Chains A and B, each alone.
Chain A
Amino acid sequence: MNIKVLGTGCANCRKLESNVKEAIKQLGIDAGFEKVEDMKAIIAYGVMRTPALVIDEKVKISGRVPAVEDIKKILEQK
């Protein structure tokens, strides 16, 4: 699984990043993690509100920071 967090470095982007990392850790899954900060790359995903969560190149969440539990559910659906 390939997980990306899109965001330019605002407070919420950092929060989503740490929540996602925590969720990965708790689930103990093997996933690649990448933080995308380049605006053009973010736009290319069609995202207009940061932060966003991308799993296997699909935007799952944008413009909000879900709790660790909710992120775990999203990751488990895969």
Chain B
Amino acid sequence: MFILKWLNNQLLKMEWLSNLVKYFVEKGFGLDIQDRLGGSIHFFIYDIIKIFILLSVLIFTISYIQSFFPPERTKQILGKYHGIWANLLGALLGTVTPFCSCSSIPLFIGFTGAGLPLGVTFSFLISSPLVDLASFILLASIFNWKIAIAYVLVGIFLAVIGGTIIGNAKLESYVEPFVYGNQMAELDQEELTRKDRIQYSRQQVLDIIKRVWMYILIGVGIGAAIHNWIPQDMISAILGQDKWYSVLVTTIIGVPMYADIFGTLPIAEALVIKGVGLGTVLSFMMAVTALSLPSLIMLKTVVKKKLLTIFFIVVTIGIIIIGYTFNLIGYLLI
């Protein structure tokens, strides 16, 4: 147990890095990290280095695993299941299938056009940006394993329930007609060699870092500001545990925001340190990642307004319910 704990603290939480940055800030800048300025600088440097190290290692590992689950294979697997099992499987595969919002349209057409139920496709689309292995490990690093597992479970729960509701509402007629009836060739699975997979994984690391570094810098910057400069009173007045509207506020702020989950984590971290409820913070993260203007605009090209609105409302309400539930039971997890 002691060794596990040590590994957890050093590899995942990177205490060595925290100490190193502390030494650097205190000796190099001559600042006390208990002070405001020293504390902010420490938070900023330590968080950025930690996130980039974890991100690179994780994306590489995950891309390697993902190269075994291309969406073409996902589609074949999903076609064999029915009912809620198909939704569950869709949500689970959403966590391992490589996916960036730029491929959401071909994916949607590929799945729905091939005859997969609409609800299953939506389960997949909801879980894909919300939950992945990288965010799971990062949550464990920043908070703890219990919170990470809880986040993944509620993410998948939201995807299954959301997809099921959309599936049961019989909304197929609100899909743009061109999605159906496309001649679609069955693709031969190309056999990748280990070298191909390594090259693919390395490329994914570079691509994703190039895409998200800005969000991470901004996220850590906001996190550092919340951490040391915004008075506790102000935050608890708006987002405090005792405020019934805290979850609503974070969800409404989070929905139009567009950032990667990695950019939102440092903000979440700072908010939790400031005593904001776990549910409030989780609903913020989910709102930012699951719903964003760019992805809605893209979905708009394949579904009609009514279906898009229902998708939006179902996910938003789901996030709010999850937020309140976590605020009620959150004390069990910290």
Contacts and interface: CB of A to CB of B under 8 A. Distances in A.
Contact of B75 (A39, A48, A66): A48
B35 interface: no
Given A39-B109, A65-B203, A67-B199, A47 B102 contact: no
Interface residues of B, number: 27
B58 to A, nearest CB: 19
Given A10-B102, A40-B178, A50-B103, A62 B75 contact: no
Interface in A32-58: 39-40, 42-50, 58
- Please classify how large the interface on chain A is, using the bins under 10, 10 to 19, 20 to 34, 35 or more: 20 to 34
A3 B72 CA distance: 22
A63 B183 contact: no
B163 interface: no
Contacts of A61: 190
30 contacts: A39-B106, A40-B182, A42-B106, A44-B182, A44-B184, A44-B185, A45-B185, A46-B185, A46-B186, A46-B187, A47-B187, A48-B70, A48-B106, A48-B110, A49-B71, A49-B106, A49-B107, A50-B102, A50-B103, A58-B188, A59-B190, A61-B190, A62-B72, A62-B190, A63-B98, A64-B196, A64-B200, A65-B203, A67-B199, A70-B196
A43 B184 contact: yes
Contacts of A25: none
A50 B72 contact: no
Contacts of B75: 48
Contact of A63 (B70, B182, B188): B70
B207 interface: yes
Contacts, number: 72
Contacts of A59: 185, 187-188, 190
A45 to B, nearest CB: 6
A65 B203 CA distance: 8
Nearest to B201: A64
A12 B107 CA distance: 17
Contacts of B178: 40
Interface in B106-161: 106-107, 109-110, 113
Contacts of A63: 70-71, 98, 103
B207 A49 contact: no
Interface in B156-208: 178, 182-188, 190, 196, 199-200, 203, 207
B199 A47 contact: no
A60 B196 CA distance: 13
A5 to B, nearest CB: 15
B184 A46 contact: yes
A78 to B, nearest CB: 15
B205 to A, nearest CB: 13
A35 to B, nearest CB: 16
B166 to A, nearest CB: 20
B190 A48 contact: no
Contacts of A45: 185, 187
